[in-house]
């Protein structure tokens, strides 16, 4: 494969050093090892039912506290489900779901790093005002042209994901001539726009399950180390996704063991952040990875 021939690298012998720091609201954070991002969905229709937190505030705070205790470095709060054919909601509804949660988490756990999972600049802006530290956009700013300039103005890190189309039609847009090269080109263009907007810290998410076939997801995971050439942290979000249970059988509830196996593969490939529903299991995976390779 062309990219492999030109950019042969691994987590042990990396020709393209990856940035090891994040500036978050005036504080410098170091990647001394892989981080865990815990998923808290303030939605009634996320694909994994156990991740939904539309109940009482105390229930969500308990979940957040348990994730932090188990080893989460980041809590990712989302109020708009991005699964295929998810229900469309208004900006106002999305804000009503996430702002009270972010405010409460920051009041009870002021040192927690919170990311807002949204593709709407209005939601991102008010979430950061409420205490969010990072903006996580599944569209990489493509669905809202004001997102990247806003993130630059707010001076917070930006998680830029690769996706084609939108959650409703993305699985009809899986045709690639060269999968890895096209995603590298996409991120190169996005990183240029981010730098021009003043964004100093960019994290890349390859978008497993977003405009990718099952086989393409596994191809990307196998070749994850190639994306180190971009020189920024890579986030991998494969937790309980259909790429696991469509291959092994069952559904999201039965996909924890497969998630753990693929998270180890992601760490070997150079992932700096694992976005997961099950923080304790991810922390154990990282501990074993470090025992072997560090």
Range 27-65 burial, b when 16+ CB lie within 10 A, else e: eebeeeebbbbbbbbbbeebbbeebbbeeeeeebbebbe
Strands 21-24 and 27-30: antiparallel
Choosing from 241, 246, 283, 290, the catalytic residue is 241
Task: Report the sign of the C-alpha dihedral through residues 159, 197, 132, 92, in that order.
Answer: negative
142 catalytically annotated: no
User: First vs last Cα of the chain: how many Å apart?
Assistant: 29
Neighbours of 284 (CB within 10 A): 14
Choosing from 19, 275, 280, 283, the catalytic residue is 275
- Which H helix or E strand runs over 150? helix 147-154
Distance of CA 282 to the CA centre of its chain: 14
Rounded Cα–Cα distance for residues 91 and 73 (Å): 28
User: Residue 282 is encoded by which pair of tokens?
Assistant: 């991810």
241 catalytically annotated: yes
Residues 6 or more apart from 266 whose CB is under 8 A from it? 221, 224, 236, 238, 274
Give the catalytic positions in this structure. 241, 275
């Amino acid at each position: 494969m062309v990219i492999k021939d030109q950019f042969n690298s691994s987590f042990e012998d990396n020709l393209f050093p990856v940035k090891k720091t994040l500036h978050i609201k005036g504080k410098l954070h170091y990647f001394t090892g892989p981080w865990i991002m815990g998923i808290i969905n303030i939605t009634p229709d996320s694909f994994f039912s156990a991740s939904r937190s539309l109940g009482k505030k105390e229930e969500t705070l308990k979940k957040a506290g348990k994730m932090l205790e188990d080893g989460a470095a980041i809590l990712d709060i989302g109020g708009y489900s991005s699964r295929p054919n998810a229900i469309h909601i208004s900006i106002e509804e999305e804000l009503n779901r996430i702002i009270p949660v972010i405010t409460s988490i920051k009041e009870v756990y002021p040192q927690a790093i919170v990311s807002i999972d949204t593709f709407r600049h209005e939601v991102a802006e008010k979430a950061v005002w409420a205490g969010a530290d990072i903006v996580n956009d599944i569209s990489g700013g493509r669905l809202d042209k004001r997102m990247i300039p806003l993130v630059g103005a707010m001076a917070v890190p930006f998680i830029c994901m690769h996706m084609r189309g939108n959650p409703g039609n993305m699985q009809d847009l899986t045709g690639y001539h060269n999968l890895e090269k096209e995603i590298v080109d996409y991120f190169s263009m996005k990183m240029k726009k981010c730098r021009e907007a003043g964004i100093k810290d960019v994290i890349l998410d390859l978008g497993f399950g977003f405009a990718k076939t099952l086989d393409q997801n596994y191809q990307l995971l196998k070749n994850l180390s190639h994306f180190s050439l971009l020189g920024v942290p890579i986030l991998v979000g494969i937790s309980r996704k259909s790429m696991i249970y469509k291959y092994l059988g069952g559904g999201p509830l039965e996909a924890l063991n497969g998630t753990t196996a693929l998270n180890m593969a992601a760490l070997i490939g150079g992932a700096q952040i694992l976005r997961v529903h099950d923080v304790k299991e991810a922390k154990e995976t990282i501990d074993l990875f470090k025992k072997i390779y560090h």
